[in-house]
Structure 1
């Protein structure tokens, strides 16, 4: 069975985007002398990316409009907006919970839950995330899009690892 991992950054006060949906605050302090590359290490065990429409739209219109940055993976975009799928990007009108149940049974590497908040919250409510890779960015936004929102139950986690660089802290947890 494929492992389901959340790999995401959030502000110190728990937001993944500011009140306008922007993520321009993600670079941290901006003095990265450590050259830590947690992303490359993480994606070695991933072959599938799952995201919501808003995350997809932000990537292709703002963050990387000239190049699909997840070319090495099969991507599933959960959306109600009908759009033509390609070999690498599949647009699906399916609940995230059902999609993950189906995908985790396939052969291959792990599944990365990339965003957004609504999709993550639905999977967290069903306790479907096996591993949480959360990078804390040194900023307090005060408002915006919350990563977890209001949960209907506690999810107990075990801390596996921490590392700090560029003012940011990576926290890696698994379910207990």
Structure 2
């Protein structure tokens, strides 16, 4: 079974975006000594999953419908993307699949049939749903040294209780902390 890794930037108070779904450099540090490590990590993934709102942000920033996330494509041109949205009306192509069906069933089947690391790169609601169904194996948080008080929660509206086993911890000069946990479901 493939490993599903939720690898995401977050604020110190657990938000992946502000209430308007903004996750730009007004909140997160994109430059710094953590950047090369992040690009290296992306090269290890074979599949990327994201929620529709995360994909829509890319479209607002100039990405064309059907294109993969530019940074991910730069770091790993072979990375296959799946976007989960019942609202986006974009045709799937070789690089990006648009999934309107049940995300839980799709991801469960994907984990059973592929032999690649799967990267959940965005979407708090999607992450919460996958967590509720115990489909996320590893949590990697790029914790930025900022608190915003409100926004899009790391796991959406999920209230699932889990334990985390710390596997790795790295501190960068700009204050970003990278934590890697194995998720332990009870």
TM-score by length of 2: 0.84
RMSD: 1.9
- Relative to structure 1, the CA distance from residue 150 to residue 79 in structure 2 (aligned partners, 3 Å threshold; closer, same or farther) is closer
Rounded to whole Å, the distance in 2 between the matches of 1:150 and 1:118 is 7
Select which of 122, 126, 143 maps to 2:129: 122
How far the C-alpha of 1:147 sits from its partner, in A, is 0.9
1:12-161 maps to which residues of 2 (within 5 A)?
12-24=12-24, 25-27=27-29, 32=32, 34=33, 37-62=36-61, 65=63, 68=68, 69=70, 70-71=72-73, 72=77, 73-81=79-87, 82-161=89-168
- Tell me how far 1:152 sits from its aligned partner: 3.6
**Gapped regions of structure 1 (runs ≥ 5):** none
* Superposition deviation, residue 35 in structure 1: 5.6
Give the Cα separation in 2 of the matches to 1:7 and 1:152: 19
Cα shift at 1:150: 4.6
Q: Give the length in aligned residue pairs.
A: 172
1:3 alignment partner in structure 2: 3
Q: What SS class does the counterpart of residue 105 from structure 2 fall into?
A: helix
Tell me the SS of whatever aligns to 2:46: strand
TM-score by length of 1: 0.88
Report runs of 4+ in structure 1 exceeding 6 Å deviation: none
Distance 2:157 2:97 in 1: 29
The alpha carbon displacement at 1:45 in A equals: 2.7
Superposition deviation, residue 149 in structure 1: 4.2
Distance 2:177 2:104 in 1: 29
Preserved contact between residue 7 and residue 120 of structure 2 (Cα < 8 Å): yes
1:145: Cα distance to partner? 0.9
Secondary structure of the equivalent of 1:44? helix
| CA distance in structure 2 between the partners assigned to 1:127 and 1:141 by the alignment | 28
SS in 2 for 1:135: strand
Secondary structure of residue in 1 paired with 2:112: coil
Q: Choose which of 164, 183, 186 in structure 2 pairs with 1:175.
A: 183
Task: Say which structure is richer in helix.
Answer: 2
Q: Distance between the aligned counterparts of 1:18 and 1:140, measured in 2?
A: 10
